[in-house]
A = this chain, B = another copy of it.
Amino acid sequence: MNAPPLRIGIAGLGTVGRGTLQVLLANAELLTLRAGRELRPVAVSARTRDKDRGVSIANLRWHDDPLALARDPEVDVVVELIGGADGIARGVCEQALAAGKHVVTANKALLAHHGAALARAAEKAGRTLAFEAAVAGGIPIVKALREGLAANRIHQLYGILNGTCNYILTQMHREGREFAAVLKEAQDLGYAEADPSFDVDGVDAGHKLAILAATAFGGEVDFAAVSLEGIRHVSLADVRFAEELGYRIKLLGIARRTEGGIEQRVHPCMVPVAAPIATVDGVYNAVVVEGDAVGTTVFEGRGAGEGPTASAVVADLIDIARGRGLPAFGVPAARLEKLARAPLAKRRGPCYVRLMVVDRPGIFAAVAASLRDHEISMESVLQRGRAPGEVVPVVMTLHEAAEAALQRALAEIARHDGIVEPPRMIRIETFA
């Protein structure tokens, strides 16, 4: 191999940084063969220098300051694995690009908030900004959207983008336990953070969705356009009713081209049990892409973790080593559109509603009247047995209806006598 090595600086040596070093070391020969030149880690930066990481950094140049690494003249590519939408991570990426270096990052928050600006900065510098690791590390989905499916006009994409939520929902389903108990277990196992809100409130999935939508639709990343609803309110009762109705509950990110613009939303969904995505369980992620030529394609793999994320980081490094960089979101930064937003209120679709009702005559008639008044029609109702005077669940599935009308109807229903909790609504997505 005559080409000079690609000199790599890694900022951040947590799980993914360690994994990246390990892959570069373990598969060095293979990577040199595939990339046509050596992928050589030369510099690192992290919070603590002396720490047993299971991989030696003794031969690598150490920088206390990650910004110094970003400017290190002996580095060709900076791998940013610090995380966070702003602060040091952003500075590292900006300064590395300004110093004429390529940037590979796994930082979804950063891209969700500053993706378009960073793409412009990369373009200005004539360098590559690559981020396969930011979304579903074990699935080469950014490459698929930007290259493998680039012949297609994408209609929609959707997926399970957060492994923590998928683990929790899977365990609720399998073990019949409530959200709080499973969350606690996930925290004990290290699958969920001490402060789980980023995951369970849908923020992390929203970051990833915004990145995928930008790539699929050729638009500026627009995280503010993503409607977010997490899984805290999903109860075991809902999980069980879903099963009975032939559905599974999944936290999905959905980006869809509609006449009114691009819908972007993250929320729990009931999906038919026969849908490929319904049985993607545990910490696996999956993304479904629908294009005009290709039809439906499904990608499934681990969402996070040392190996899968490192695999994505190193794939980006190989592309850079091969001289195969691309515009960050597949088209020149100046050509990224400001995508029109189709707000959630414009959604039309079916849904599941669970009411907790005091079992006495007349209440159901009032509920039915509210639905009728908002032009919403019921598909099915489920109420088991009788328990006069007791609180019982009444479960309905509603035919396709406008989200706004639905919200008004549910608000009205919540005010009826005998409705003892706010109605629980979960959207049904059949992707038909």
In the complex, whether A237 has a CB less than 8 A from a CB of chain B is no
Q: Are A147 and B311 in contact (CB under 8 A)?
A: no
Interface residues of A in 291-326 (CB under 8 A from B): 291-302, 307-308, 310-315, 317-319, 322, 324, 326
Name the one of B152, B302, B322 contacting A294, with C-beta atoms under 8 angstroms: B302
Q: Are A322 and B315 in contact (CB under 8 A)?
A: no
Given contacts A33-B335, A299-B298, contact A311 B330 (CB under 8 A): no
Q: Are B144 and A144 in contact (CB under 8 A)?
A: yes
In the complex, whether A26 has a CB less than 8 A from a CB of chain B is yes
Name the one of B149, B318, B332 contacting A150, with C-beta atoms under 8 angstroms: B318
Q: Are A148 and B140 in contact (CB under 8 A)?
A: yes
Q: Are B291 and A295 in contact (CB under 8 A)?
A: no
Given contacts A34-B150, A147-B143, contact A302 B295 (CB under 8 A): yes
Indicate with 1 or 0, residue by residue over A350-364, a CB within 8 angstroms of chain B CB atoms.
000000000000000
Count this chain's copies in the assembly. 2
In the complex, whether A331 has a CB less than 8 A from a CB of chain B is yes
CB of A155, distance to nearest CB on chain B (Å): 13
In the complex, whether A19 has a CB less than 8 A from a CB of chain B is yes
In the complex, whether A258 has a CB less than 8 A from a CB of chain B is no
Taking CB atoms, residues of chain B closer than 8 Å to A26 are 153, 292
Given contacts A147-B143, A148-B144, A149-B140, contact A310 B298 (CB under 8 A): no
Q: Are B307 and A293 in contact (CB under 8 A)?
A: yes
Given contacts A34-B331, A140-B147, A147-B143, contact A152 B27 (CB under 8 A): yes
Number of A positions contacting B (CB below 8 A):
59
Given contacts A308-B293, A311-B152, A322-B326, contact A276 B301 (CB under 8 A): no
In the complex, whether A396 has a CB less than 8 A from a CB of chain B is no
CB of A128, distance to nearest CB on chain B (Å): 12
Interface residues of A in 326-347 (CB under 8 A from B): 326, 330-332, 335
What is the chain B residue whose CB lies nearest that of A308? B294
Q: Are A301 and B296 in contact (CB under 8 A)?
A: yes
Taking CB atoms, residues of chain B closer than 8 Å to A152 are 27, 311
Q: Are B294 and A307 in contact (CB under 8 A)?
A: yes
Q: Are B315 and A138 in contact (CB under 8 A)?
A: no
Taking CB atoms, residues of chain B closer than 8 Å to A31 are 150-151
- CA–CA, A297 to B138, complex, Å? 7
In the complex, whether A218 has a CB less than 8 A from a CB of chain B is yes
In the complex, whether A15 has a CB less than 8 A from a CB of chain B is no
Q: Are B151 and A311 in contact (CB under 8 A)?
A: yes
Name the one of B297, B308, B314 contacting A301, with C-beta atoms under 8 angstroms: B297
Q: Are B295 and A298 in contact (CB under 8 A)?
A: no
What is the chain B residue whose CB lies nearest that of A335? B33
What is the chain B residue whose CB lies nearest that of A154? B30
Q: Are A27 and B151 in contact (CB under 8 A)?
A: yes
In the complex, whether A132 has a CB less than 8 A from a CB of chain B is yes
Taking CB atoms, residues of chain B closer than 8 Å to A125 are none
Q: Are A308 and B295 in contact (CB under 8 A)?
A: yes
- CA–CA, A413 to B149, complex, Å? 51
Name the one of B132, B293, B310 contacting A310, with C-beta atoms under 8 angstroms: B293
Q: Can you report 16 A-B residue pairs in the complex whose CB atoms are below 8 A from each other?
A: A33-B218, A33-B331, A34-B330, A140-B147, A140-B148, A144-B144, A147-B318, A150-B318, A151-B310, A151-B317, A152-B311, A276-B279, A293-B307, A293-B308, A293-B310, A300-B300
Q: Which residues of A contact B (CB under 8 A)?
A: 19, 23, 26-27, 30-31, 33-36, 132, 137-140, 143-144, 147-153, 218, 274, 276, 279-280, 291-302, 307-308, 310-315, 317-319, 322, 324, 326, 330-332, 335
Smallest CB-CB A-B distances: 5 pairs: A140-B148, A151-B314, A297-B301, A298-B300, A294-B311
